[in-house]
Amino acid sequence: MRLLGRAAGGAISLVALHIGTHYFGPARWGPIVAATAFVAVFAAASDFGVQQIASRDLAAPGADSRAILGAALAAVPITALPATAVAAAIDFAVYAGHPGIRTLVLLLLATVPCTALWLVSSSVFVARARNDVRALLDVGSSALVLAAISIVGASHAGSDTYLALVTVSTAATAGGALVLARRYVVPSMSGGAQTAWQLVRRSAPLGLTYSSNALYGQVDTVLVALLTTTSSLAAFGVASQIAGFVAAVPAMLMAAVTPHFMRQGADGRKVLVQRSFDTLVTIAAALPLVAVLFARGAISAVAGGRYAAAGTPLVLLVGAGALGFPTAVYGHGLVLVGAERRVPRGVYAALVVNVVGNLVAVPLAGITGAGIVMVGSEAALLVLRARAFRSAAGFGPSLQHAAIAIVAAGTLAGAYATSHVGFGLQTGHGLAMIPEAVILCGCYAALTWLGHRIVHHRRSGPPVGAS
């Protein structure tokens, strides 16, 4: 349900992106990208990890759901208002020489507490396994953004009007999430501020991780905004937004796993981790191939020829996102086994790699350099998270399915390379990409199925004949 909701929301968002990039053009779209990326750093960490702790606690058998949700809601102003104030202060310092971007950031600041309320409310849907409701919110939020850009285009308004409407749509989504959450759990606020502070202290390791993750995910866009031209920033923003649809998938699946994991014994938990890992790695192995074949056509279809420079960065960012699929299993798994204090370490190291790498690579190679650095930092984070999870949990998922998926994707890549070089076949553009992508996914599924059959046959051996 979450994947279907994300797919529908992603399709709506792509339509909104298509309208926005064509209406504003690179010169005006660049500042919007910069402002959105800056505020996203603070919005993503606005709940300071309270959502994930509340989801885990709400899913535990016998939990006092009303008190837990009440404490989580009371924690929203404690975490979100300081984040909003810090964002405003840094905005005036960083963008002192860019008054246009500074104004756009101010228009978006209200989205920080709204996002915190949205995230905390959604902990109820995670704990109750109501992924259908969460999917509905994904679609609704995307539809509101599409409505915002449609209104702006119809009225020939400017960037400030568009981002003001985005803020209103975020507030509407947060209000809708709270109303829906109360249908399942009516919060009890009897604990007061003391209970809320206790929850914030418990979530502090995750809060630091979320803050670092948010900075890690957006620092390349911020540095591109400061070190390159507006047109390059606009192209990188298009690539980042399209790649972001892919990067959001693993968190959805792991959130859906949370309530089932908390109700299982040791053996059941190992099975859930293995299945989650196998599913995500099977998807991830095909992503780089899909990106190489269809990235430039997708950029042309969504944003147009003026954003053609986004093609190579999109391939790199999708590849980095593919590395994030198994990383999500290890990172979320650390939280589920109660080892959230080990989560921040890997993010800190990856953040240092990302910042230092971008300071060197962006001036030398522009937005392509930023994409290369993201691949490197994601690879470092994957290794560190895998080591931390195996140490904390005492086990790790088998890599057999990963090997089969990688071999299948490599086989398809070789087949496409042969047809490209030997027969001069080219991938299509626009709607022509859809049947090609369907055929590619079908071939990939067939190859992975065949690989599993071969491995299973070798392990079980030939059938024993009756005497």
Residues 104 and 132: beta-carbon distance below 8 Å: no
Residue 187 three-state SS: coil
Average pLDDT over residues 141-161: 90
* Residue 158 and residue 233 in one domain: no
Least reliable range by pLDDT among 27-41, 289-303, 366-380, 423-437: 423-437
Q: Do 211 and 193 share a structural domain?
A: no
Contact 79, 200 (CB under 8 A): yes
Clarify whether residues 186 and 214 are in a common domain: no
Domain boundary at 202, 222, 250, which?
202
Each residue of 16-25: pLDDT tens digit? 888 888 888 8
Looking at per-residue pLDDT, the higher value among 163 and 425 belongs to 163
Q: Is the pLDDT of residue 13 over 70?
A: yes
CA-closest candidate to residue 147, choices 302, 12, 43, 301:
12
At 425 the pLDDT is 57
446 neighbors 409 (Cβ within 8 angstroms): no
pLDDT of residue 461: 55
Largest pairwise CA distance in the chain: 87
Domain count, the chain: 2
pLDDT value, residue 462: 53
Lowest mean pLDDT among 100-104, 175-179, 304-308: 304-308
Do 442 and 328 have their domain in common?
yes
Confidence band, pLDDT 50/70/90 cuts, at residue 111: very high
On whether both 282 and 372 belong to a single domain, the answer is: yes
pLDDT of residue 466: 44
Reference 397, options 333, 302, 462; nearest CA is: 333
Check whether 467 has a pLDDT greater than 60: no
Question: Considering 137, 168, 202, which residue would you say is the last residue of a domain?
Answer: 202
DSSP SS3 for 116: helix
pLDDT band at 192 (very low <50, low <70, confident <90, very high): low
* pLDDT value at 84 more than 80: yes
Tell me the C-alpha distance between 108 and 102, whole Å: 10
The per-residue pLDDT for 382 is 92
Q: Can you give the pLDDT at residue 197?
A: 84
Q: 129: burial class by Cβ within 10 Å (0-12, 13-18, 19+)?
A: middle
Does 150 score more than 90 pLDDT? yes
Q: How far is CA 64 from CA 72, 194, 369, in A?
A: 12, 17, 50
Assess whether 6 and 49 both reside in one domain: yes
Residues 62 and 209 in one domain: no
pLDDT band at 394 (very low <50, low <70, confident <90, very high): confident
Average pLDDT rounded to a whole number, residues 72-88: 88
Instruction: Please report, for residues 238, 298, 355, the alpha-carbon distance to residue 309 in angstroms, rounded to integers and kept in the order given.
Output: 10, 12, 22
Please state the pTM of the whole predicted model.
Answer: 0.71
Let me know whether 218 and 194 are in one domain. Answer: no
Query: 80, 112 in Cβ contact below 8 A?
Result: yes
Which tokens hold the place of 287?
């992503």
* 157, 216: one domain: no
Mean pLDDT of 272-289: 89
Side-chain-facing half-sphere of 177: CA atoms under 13 Å:
28
- Is the pLDDT score of 366 beyond 50? yes
- Stronger pLDDT, 255 or 172, i.e. the higher one: 172
Which tens digits make up the pLDDT trace of 443-460? 888 888 888 888 766 655
Give 50-101 as a DSSP string.
Answer: HHHHHHHHHHSTT--HHHHHHHHHHHHHHHHHHHHHHHHHHHHHHTTT-HHH
337 DSSP assignment: T
- Statement to judge: residues 18 and 137 lie in one domain: yes
CB atoms within 10 A of CB 173: 24
pLDDT of residue 305: 78
46: pLDDT strictly greater than 90: no
Q: Which of 202, 223, 250 is the last residue of a domain?
A: 202
pLDDT digits (tens, 9 = 90+) for 395-442: 888 888 888 888 888 888 888 777 765 555 566 565 566 777 788 888
Q: State which residues form the domain around 132.
A: 1-202
Q: H helices within 337-432, ranges in order? A: 343-393, 400-423
Beta carbons within 10 angstroms of residue 455's beta carbon = 14
- Confidence category of residue 228, pLDDT binned at 50, 70, 90: confident
Residues 179 and 149 in one domain: yes
Average pLDDT over residues 270-281: 90
What's the pLDDT score for residue 464?
Answer: 46
209 lies in the same domain as 198 = no
What pLDDT is attached to residue 164?
92
> Residues 249, 381: contact at Cβ < 8 Å?
no
Q: What is the mean pLDDT of the chain?
A: 83
**Mean pLDDT in residue range 235-259:** 81
